[in-house]
């Protein structure tokens, strides 16, 4: 249920609107006997004339249950909601009149309350909209109705779930495109477009590419590529083999990544074959024969070792410690257990 409230000056017009609306029904009144908006306003003024310091002397309130709740509620229940609200807001003794509107699918209450009491004291309407929202939430919880806050969280959770599923679909399409080895950003963008995804580079003020955004053309939702999956960041796309063939230059960081990738590829082509002819020592580690390599070739090989061989070695070591070594320990423990059982 949603609650809105504000102080107004045009009492008669507001009451006439609520009263004369198609299918409007009066559900509650207190200390007023008039029927028209003008009659209600004049009766409010009896107390309002006791206070000359305020101008917005009537509080206009709208209480709107969720459509599914509104269809089930009776007029007596709408009246009970009105009375609960007045009680929680300390307005129960103030003049008021209330109507329920059923002309649309969204049934709701219009309530008008005299801000001035019978002693001429003005009700403090500071933050009345926020207070009304809170009281509407409390009433909804007490009556087992859906509150605006719950509805908001339901919508947020539903939206998050939908976006998560969408991101998974986008990532699967990305994987499918990468399996075809697009080789360049331009080819990658074209193939992603065939999958119903629009890829646009994010350009900084210097005209450099600093990232990409992907838009799902069916839903029009768009995300940073790295937000969908880290492997879709520009840096990782470059590491995956994509070359920049777009008009824009890469940022300094991305250019460094591209250069390292190009260097690794070039070294594999030129230096790696030479290393196959070298003498191998313990653990199959290559021992360089300096007499067979020129100084430049030797320096190039050191780059190859740093950029290609060493990273692969680190990956293998991590795999050993994370996967293979635990299995070895388990096998050794099982052997010890079997020996103990034989004894």
239-259: pLDDT as tens digits: 777 787 766 666 555 556 556
Helix (H) or strand (E) holding 215: strand 208-216
Based on the number of CB atoms within 10 Å of its own CB, is 102 exposed (0-12), middle (13-18) or buried (19 or more)?
middle
* DSSP output for 41-92: HHHHHHHHTT--S-S--EEEEEEE--HHHHTT--HHHHHHHHHHHHHHTT-T
Average pLDDT of 233-244?
A: 78
- Residue 199's nearest CA partner among 228, 157, 179 is 228
Residue 286 vs residue 180, higher pLDDT: 180
CA distance 341 to 343: 5
Per the DSSP assignment, residues forming a β-bridge with 232 are none
Show Cβ contacts of residue 102 under 8 Å, excluding neighbours closer than 6 positions.
23, 24, 25
Mean pLDDT on 111-119? 96
Gap between the Cα atoms of 18 and 110, Å rounded: 6
More confident residue, 166 or 259: 166
Give percent above pLDDT 70 in the chain: 67
Note the helical H segments in the chain: 11-20, 37-48, 67-70, 75-88, 128-143, 148-179, 185-194, 225-228, 234-239, 252-270, 272-275, 295-304, 310-319, 325-342
Q: Distance between the two ends of the chain, CA-based, in angstroms?
A: 74
pLDDT in tens, 46-56: 999 999 898 99
**8 pLDDT higher than 90:** yes
CB 140 within 8 A of CB 65: yes
> Is the pTM here over 0.75, yes or no?
no
197-202, Cβ contacts within 8 angstroms, sequence gap of 24 or more? 197/170, 197/173, 199/225, 201/246, 201/248
**pLDDT score for 125:** 95
In the predicted structure, residue 34 carries a pLDDT above the cut 70 = yes
Between residues 91 and 291, the one the model is more confident about:
91
Tell me which range, 111-115, 218-222, 256-260, 316-320, is most confidently predicted by mean pLDDT: 111-115
Retrieve residue 126's tokens.
């500071």
As assigned by CATH, the class of the 2-146 domain is alpha beta
Q: Average pLDDT, whole number, for the chain?
A: 79
* Structure-token match 């090989």, residue found: 301
Where along the chain do the CATH 3.30.930.30 domains lie?
2-146
| 268-327 residue pLDDT tens | 555 544 444 444 444 444 545 545 556 666 666 666 666 655 555 544 555 555 555 555
Burial class (CB in 10 A: 0-12, 13-18, 19+), 209: buried
Give the model's pLDDT for residue 295: 62
Contact call for residues 193 and 199 (beta carbons, < 8 A):
yes
User: 313: which 2 tokens?
Assistant: 């070695």
């Amino acid at each position: 249920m949603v609650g809105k409230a504000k102080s107004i000056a045009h009492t008669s017009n507001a009451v006439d609107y609520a009263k004369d609306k198609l299918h409007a029904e009066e559900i509650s009144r207190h200390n007023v006997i008039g029927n028209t908006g003008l009659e209600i306003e004049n009766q409010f003024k009896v107390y309002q004339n006791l206070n000359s310091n305020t101008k917005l002397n009537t509080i206009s309130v709208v209480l709107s249950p969720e459509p599914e709740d509104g269809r089930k509620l009776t007029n007596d229940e709408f009246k009970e909601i009105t009375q609960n609200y007045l009680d929680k807001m300390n307005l129960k003794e103030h003049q008021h009149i209330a109507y329920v509107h059923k002309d649309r699918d969204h049934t709701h209450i219009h309530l008008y309350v005299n801000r001035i009491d019978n002693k001429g004291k003005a009700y403090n309407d500071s933050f009345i909209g926020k207070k009304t929202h809170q009281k509407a939430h409390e009433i909804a919880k007490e009556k087992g109705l859906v509150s605006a806050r719950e509805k908001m969280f339901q919508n947020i959770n539903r939206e998050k779930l939908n976006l998560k599923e969408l991101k998974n679909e986008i990532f699967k399409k990305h994987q499918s495109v990468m399996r075809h080895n697009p080789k360049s950003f331009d080819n990658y963008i074209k193939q992603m477009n065939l999958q119903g995804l629009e890829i646009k580079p994010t350009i900084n003020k210097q005209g450099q590419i600093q990232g990409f955004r992907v838009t799902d053309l069916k839903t029009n939702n768009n995300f940073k590529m790295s937000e969908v999956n880290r492997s879709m960041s520009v840096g990782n796309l470059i590491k995956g083999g994509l070359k920049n063939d777009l008009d824009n230059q890469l940022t300094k960081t991305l250019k460094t990544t591209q250069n390292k990738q190009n260097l690794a590829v070039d070294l594999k082509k030129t230096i790696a074959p030479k290393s196959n002819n070298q003498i191998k020592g313990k653990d199959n580690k290559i021992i360089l024969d300096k007499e067979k390599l020129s100084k430049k070739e030797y320096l190039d090989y050191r780059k190859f070792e740093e950029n290609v061989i060493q990273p692969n070695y680190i990956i293998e070591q991590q795999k050993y410690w994370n996967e293979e070594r635990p299995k070895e320990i388990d096998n050794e423990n099982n052997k010890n257990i079997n020996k103990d059982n034989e004894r």
